[in-house]
Structure 1
Amino acid sequence: MNRSSLSIAVVLATATLSASAGALHGIDPNDMNRSAAACTDFFDYANGAWRQQNPIPDYMDRWSRRWQSGEVNKEHVRDILADVSAKTDWPKGSAEQLAGDYYAACMDESRVDQLGMKPIQPWLDEVRAIKSRADLQKTMRHLHTVGIAVPFVLYSNQDLHEPTQVIAHVDAGGLGMPDRDYYLKPEARFVEARAKYHEHVAKVLTLAGAKPDAAKAAADTVFEFEKRLAQASLDNVALRDPVQQDHKMDFAGLQKLAPSFDWAAYFDDANIPRIGLNVTQPKFLQQVDKELKSTPVEQWRTYLEWTVLRAASDSLPEPFVQEKFAFYGKYLSGATEIKPRWKRCAEDTDSQLGDALGRAYVEKYFPPEAKARMQDMVKNILLAMHDDIEGLDWMSPQTKAKALEKLATFNPKIGYPDKWKDYQGVSIVRGAYLDDAIATSRWNVADDRSRIGKPVDRDRWGMTPPTSNAYYNPLLNEIVFPAGILQPPAFDVTATDAVNYGAIGVVIGHEISHGFDDQGAQFDAQGRLANWWTPEDNAKFQAKGQCVVKQFEGYFIEPGIHHNGKLVLGESIGDLAGAKLAYKGYLKSREGKGPEPTIDGFTPEQQFFIAWGQWRGDETRPETQRTMIQGDPHPIAKYRVNGPLSNLPEFRAAFSCKAGDPMVRPEADRCEVW
């Protein structure tokens, strides 16, 4: 997002300022709803005017300056790709050739439509030719090479107990709806979703050539197959507990768990060593084994054909693209219009070949001074966490020592990786979008598998440089901030410290605190899934988490539908601690400098909190809210703003809120974890 698009006119000059070109700016007061009260509904107060003036675009499911920034970021990616794709004589295999030709192939919609089903036909023919269970497994192995999980998925990850080593993890997959509850729960919204899904599957199969009656029967087969998989899958709350997904075994144990599958052939074809591995959901794999033994081959063929079409829909002619959008984009998310093709192509190129365009992105949009300022912010917020741990009155010295040891091993990654993927061996040609998508998927799967049985490479990243997001990895104990999120309004080298600490600073604190939330607290300083708590301290920690669970259980999106406090616990601990730590980090940033000035009538403390409200102030479609409530560990934006801040005395002081105000939780109900 460029400077002018922020519409910010306030800048730094003296103790109380208005506009003055060239100096550091504060928050944008034009975004605020001045008729709202900060102590009543801070979400509305901080960003209500912006939301009123900027309705959600038809192709989006939510909207705020945060999401607008991410979409503008895609324009930057598009500009880079448009430049490199305009030239057709790049050296074969170079980053420019790969990214440019992939994007050009994606953008050539007329060519995709002209080719029709031809590119996917060999895969469908292979599925339709399955006659035996041996054929079935051979095709499953083939589909896995291009990332189509049917129905399990195998990927590399660190050993939960020896995180210096990478092993295979066998996980559940194979569902076409968001999670198991969509197949099983009796509430009306899930019953409706099941009916819509039946219709969607039948329409896709009809587009692929099936007669309507046959397509409807096939959709029934697909649904019943996936329902049995869903019944054997963990729910979303259980999936947040690493202990429930910790089932390390040797190769013989895997064979014993699912003896109907030829694991030897799978591992040999994939060139994976037969060493210790982890099965995240043994019950699911046992169900797969049961399906291999008892489900007729013709039903497997139907399921595999659907899965191939679902995986390839984005790369097929327009009717497939529109039908996929109708169910996943329109029905489940509430968008009324599909994203422009250039945007989808930019997203796909970044997803498949992110490092091939990442260097150009970083050179253009992430200057060295931005990285230096981010490094300083991370340092201050880590110091704030250190002070916080040392000052806890509920934690014993023994557990504190372990917590501080873990904090000391945190590894911040900022902007971009030190080593770039070279995509050696990938062949990308113009005019063959689906073939290109398959080629890049095959390379990425092979690249992932190549890590198994080797020491962990700590230089690898889990996100591409242009990604507008951030993450914490407990096995590496690292916090990662790609250049794509380090753009205005989250982070702006022309903004005051109050604004930057209130926006990206809270994100930094959020990611740090993930190392100490209900999940992260189960991993030690070396990244091992190991208990480092005394029983007494752990009981106190769990009680503090239960306060957050109770708070968010009380937040409804509509009558009868409220947040699942256990599902959003980790993210809510992250937001609560993130705001507190970022505020303390901000105070550290001013040591020796003195306080920042009041700007446009707002104190630095007020600017800090307003910046968070403006960054996180999403307007979200009702359909998306329902989907989020069901399966997203993140709360709805309104409660990500109001929920944490209503617990913070610093917020109350900044806006002179009083006991009894909606933004002030009663002392008996106030939550504080870190």
Structure 2
Amino acid sequence: MGLARDAQMKSLFLHAAVSALALAATSASAEQAAPPAAPAPAKATYGTYGFDTAGMDRSVKPGDDFYDHANGTWAKNTPIPADKSNYGAFTVLEELSQKRTRGILEAAQNDPSSKIGNAYASFMDKAAVEARGLAPLQPWLGEIRDIADRNAYAKVAAKAARQGIGGPFRFYVGQDDKDPETYILSMMQGGLGLPDRDYYLDAGDKMAAIRTAYVAHLEKMLTLAGESGAKARAAALMAFETEVAKVHWTQIDSRDADKTYNKMTLAQLAQSAPGFDFAAYYAANALRPADLLVAQPSAITGEAALIAKAPLQVLKDGLLLSSLHTYADYLPDSIADADFAFYGTTLSGTPQRSERWKQGVDFLKETLGEEVGKVYVAQYFPPETKAAMDDLVKNVLAAMGRRIDALPWMSATAKARAHKKLAAFTPKIGYPDKWRDYAGLEIRRDDLLGNAMRSSAFEFDYNVGKLGKPIYRWEWGMTPMEINAYANFGMVEIVFPAAILQPPFFDPHADPAVNYGGIGAVIGHELSHHFDDQGAKYDETGKLNQWWTDQDVANFKELTGKLVKQYDAYEPFPGSHVKGAFTLGENIGDLGGLAVALDAYHASLKGKKAPVIDGTTGDQRFFLGWAQVWRRNYREANLRQRLVTDPHAPSQYRADIVRNFDSWYGAFKPAPGGKIYLAPKDRVKIW
């Protein structure tokens, strides 16, 4: 998702997709004898109507676990590939996207004038990378080693930020939440090598083991970089990062749009956080912001104080090790394998690195994503699909409007504003109307690391170059090849890249109910994000602005509080629960998205009764379609990491949100007492 704030841009981590409803099933040959023969019916990719019935586990009752009822046999029989931390419907489409992109890049590789071909060639020349060793990175590492004082540290840390290297703080240019027609510099807490503060502070055995492995990893990387005294230096850096973790905000507080909106001048920042030269830090990148937004002020203050008293060598080691981690994939296997052993295997449970061509595809998505995207769209995204998506989005928006009108808890005043917000939406489908220009990015066929570093600087300059300019409303935060979707609060938009428009999310030959349960619910999810516990704080102009009455807010919090408790009760591992408050936005998105999609499906029937297919009703197929897109097997380490860092609940619980829908009970008739059965009074209904 790039440089978007959590409060403004919410990824579905789903796939948005298009609906089959707007596409005709098939066409017959143009030259047919009279009378014309009936065309053979088109076949759905999954099963007879778009759902894989063979993957069901019918021994599991829907009322005990709907996810396993719909997907249990698939889950039992589907291994996770060795280069994956998890595997499911998203991964299948990701692999297809990678293969298609590989074909584009290998063809371009034969053209010496092709920028994407030269970039891919530089990545695939592993022999050259091994032959050069660490030499290409040594000039940069030398700058870190030469840091003589804290003022120099601030300047080099700023340069690291331009190179995409993690440092003490993170910053980027984005919309001002309370003035969405203006760009502003935003900064956030940083400085940790582990994924979150909990990894340093959680007293459990699992986290303790990871901390031990992390220190050993730091020692190994310092040794590989030719540094002396690696053991003591690794321990010192771990001690420093632990203190940084103590001042960091939690994930829950960091997703609060009100708490994280703290506007101040650079002088005020310096006064509130003495111990770090922020003026020198920003000036090193020619940035002299009059104002900036500080997401976690107390964390920035705490970090600055820690930096002021930390040994200079510890600060330098933080930058050095972050540099090795950032650029590990562009360095020899000695570095790349060591980096993966910790971040890939220890943290996520993935046994082995992916094939080099897959890494090369990912590299091109990061460096020249829209340049590749132009070719991808031309080959794999027909105009008919875009038109179908346009129609489906309109259907879902209309359904949302009807649901707003029927809300018992919202005031008439807020309903009127909600309709204004709906009318202001900009759906973006497939690919940007205006493509990025990469003319200023230098790519050399024989310089992989240089390409990566120049690309990071190019992206940085592009981002900070927005200051003082009109909002880039054509801009996308994802490439067309990505299997995902997102909602951007400041832009009042929902965005669906081309590559997600495939089965099981969208299949032009599937039953409409399955498509509404798949991609229709994905569209509804992104739409509902604009009305979740954070998105609802933004008005029809994209401004962070309370547009509800106090009673509306109180009613909403009462409902969302029930959803928090529902998810708090989920326990994937003994003692490890889903965090209902952390995943609340995504859970509201799922709940609202599924409700809106179901209404849109019912409206599409135009008063007729849905046909029974293979013994299933329309509503049954709708909910099965929803469960199917959430097929996913996790490695234990990956799932544990997600519980700490991922604002999305695990896939099983996303599928089981059907327990809140009266229509689901009507469709599957679960008996009271089932494990996911909820009495009518306990079913959460928000949007």
Structures share a fold, TM > 0.5? yes
The secondary structure found in structure 2 opposite 1:405 is helix
Q: Give the C-alpha shift of residue 668 in structure 1.
A: 3.0
Distance 1:355 1:268, change over 3 A: same
Separation in 1 of the partners of 2:76 and 2:450? 44
Separation in 1 of the partners of 2:504 and 2:121? 31
**Contact 2:414 2:549 (8 Å CA) reproduced:** yes
**Contact 1:200 1:327 (8 Å CA) reproduced:** yes
* Partner residue, 1:40: 64
Distance 1:292 1:23, change over 3 A: closer
* Partner residue, 1:223: 238
Higher mean C-alpha displacement, 567-576 vs 491-500: 491-500
Separation in 1 of the partners of 2:412 and 2:448? 59
Separation in 2 of the partners of 1:436 and 1:203? 26
- 1:243-642 pair list within 5 angstroms: 243-591=258-606, 594-642=608-656
**Contact 2:491 2:542 (8 Å CA) reproduced:** yes
**Contact 2:264 2:292 (8 Å CA) reproduced:** yes
* Partner residue, 1:8: none
- Deviating above 6 A after TM superposition, structure 1's stretches of 4 or more consecutive aligned residues are none
Q: Give the C-alpha shift of residue 151 in structure 1.
A: 1.0
The secondary structure found in structure 1 opposite 2:390 is helix
* Partner residue, 2:21: none
Separation in 2 of the partners of 1:621 and 1:299? 34
1:138 aligned to 152, 155, 158, which one? 155
* Partner residue, 2:92: 68
Distance 1:262 1:630, change over 3 A: closer
The secondary structure found in structure 2 opposite 1:170 is strand
Are 2:676 and 1:659 aligned?
Answer: no
Distance 1:232 1:545, change over 3 A: same
**Contact 1:272 1:450 (8 Å CA) reproduced:** no
Amino acid at match of 1:169: S
Separation in 2 of the partners of 1:299 and 1:27? 55
Amino acid at match of 2:125: D
Separation in 1 of the partners of 2:366 and 2:677? 42
**Contact 1:66 1:490 (8 Å CA) reproduced:** no
Q: Give the C-alpha shift of residue 61 in structure 1.
A: 1.5
Separation in 2 of the partners of 1:404 and 1:648? 24
Are 2:208 and 1:195 aligned?
Answer: no
**Contact 1:222 1:306 (8 Å CA) reproduced:** no
Are 2:42 and 1:22 aligned?
Answer: yes
Separation in 1 of the partners of 2:490 and 2:652? 31
Separation in 2 of the partners of 1:20 and 1:623? 47
List gaps (5 residues or longer) in structure 2: 1-14, 16-24, 28-38
* Partner residue, 1:204: 221
* Partner residue, 2:184: 167
Separation in 1 of the partners of 2:307 and 2:53? 61
Q: Give the C-alpha shift of residue 496 in structure 1.
A: 2.7
**Contact 2:279 2:288 (8 Å CA) reproduced:** no
Separation in 2 of the partners of 1:480 and 1:635? 21
Q: Give the C-alpha shift of residue 500 in structure 1.
A: 1.4
Separation in 2 of the partners of 1:346 and 1:606? 39
Amino acid at match of 1:656: K
* Partner residue, 1:59: 83
* Partner residue, 1:645: 658
Offset from partner CA, 1:409-468 (integer Å, 9 cap, x none): 121111100011111211111221111100111100000000122221111111111111
**Contact 1:273 1:453 (8 Å CA) reproduced:** no
2:251 aligned to 236, 245, 260, which one? 236
Separation in 1 of the partners of 2:322 and 2:283? 24
* Partner residue, 1:105: 122
- Per chain length, whose mean CA-contact separation is higher, i.e. which structure has more relative contact order (CA < 8 Å, sep 6+)? 2
Separation in 2 of the partners of 1:499 and 1:328? 37
Offset from partner CA, 1:25-56 (integer Å, 9 cap, x none): 43232222233333332111212222233211
Q: Give the C-alpha shift of residue 626 in structure 1.
A: 1.0
Amino acid at match of 1:632: D
Separation in 1 of the partners of 2:284 and 2:469? 18
* Partner residue, 2:31: none
Separation in 2 of the partners of 1:543 and 1:364? 49
Separation in 1 of the partners of 2:583 and 2:42? 42
Separation in 2 of the partners of 1:184 and 1:558? 19
Q: Give the C-alpha shift of residue 557 in structure 1.
A: 0.6
Are 2:171 and 1:154 aligned?
Answer: yes
**Contact 2:244 2:306 (8 Å CA) reproduced:** no
The secondary structure found in structure 1 opposite 2:322 is helix
Q: Give the C-alpha shift of residue 20 in structure 1.
A: 5.3
Separation in 2 of the partners of 1:295 and 1:531? 42
Higher mean C-alpha displacement, 505-514 vs 601-610: 601-610
Separation in 1 of the partners of 2:286 and 2:152? 20
Separation in 2 of the partners of 1:434 and 1:493? 43
Higher mean C-alpha displacement, 504-513 vs 40-49: 40-49
Offset from partner CA, 1:391-410 (integer Å, 9 cap, x none): 01111112212222222212
Separation in 1 of the partners of 2:588 and 2:155? 45
Are 2:74 and 1:50 aligned?
Answer: yes
Separation in 2 of the partners of 1:588 and 1:459? 32
* Partner residue, 1:185: 202
Q: Give the C-alpha shift of residue 193 in structure 1.
A: 1.4
* Partner residue, 1:4: none
Separation in 2 of the partners of 1:566 and 1:293? 34
Distance 1:210 1:537, change over 3 A: same
Offset from partner CA, 1:249-290 (integer Å, 9 cap, x none): 123223323454444444444233532210111222223332
Q: TM-score w.r.t. structure 1 length?
A: 0.93
**Contact 1:273 1:452 (8 Å CA) reproduced:** no
**Contact 1:225 1:303 (8 Å CA) reproduced:** no
Q: Give the C-alpha shift of residue 178 in structure 1.
A: 0.7
Offset from partner CA, 1:304-354 (integer Å, 9 cap, x none): 211211211121111211112111111111111221111111112102211
Higher mean C-alpha displacement, 59-68 vs 254-263: 254-263
Q: TM-score w.r.t. structure 2 length?
A: 0.91
Identical aligned residues as a percent: 39
**Contact 2:386 2:430 (8 Å CA) reproduced:** yes
**Contact 1:174 1:226 (8 Å CA) reproduced:** yes
* Partner residue, 1:85: 109
Separation in 1 of the partners of 2:591 and 2:148? 56
List gaps (5 residues or longer) in structure 1: 2-10, 14-18, 91-96
Q: Give the C-alpha shift of residue 537 in structure 1.
A: 1.5
Amino acid at match of 2:209: E
Separation in 2 of the partners of 1:177 and 1:298? 20
**Contact 2:583 2:649 (8 Å CA) reproduced:** yes
Q: Give the C-alpha shift of residue 580 in structure 1.
A: 1.0
Q: Give the C-alpha shift of residue 663 in structure 1.
A: 3.9
**Contact 1:428 1:436 (8 Å CA) reproduced:** yes
Offset from partner CA, 1:111-147 (integer Å, 9 cap, x none): 1111100111011111111122232223122212212
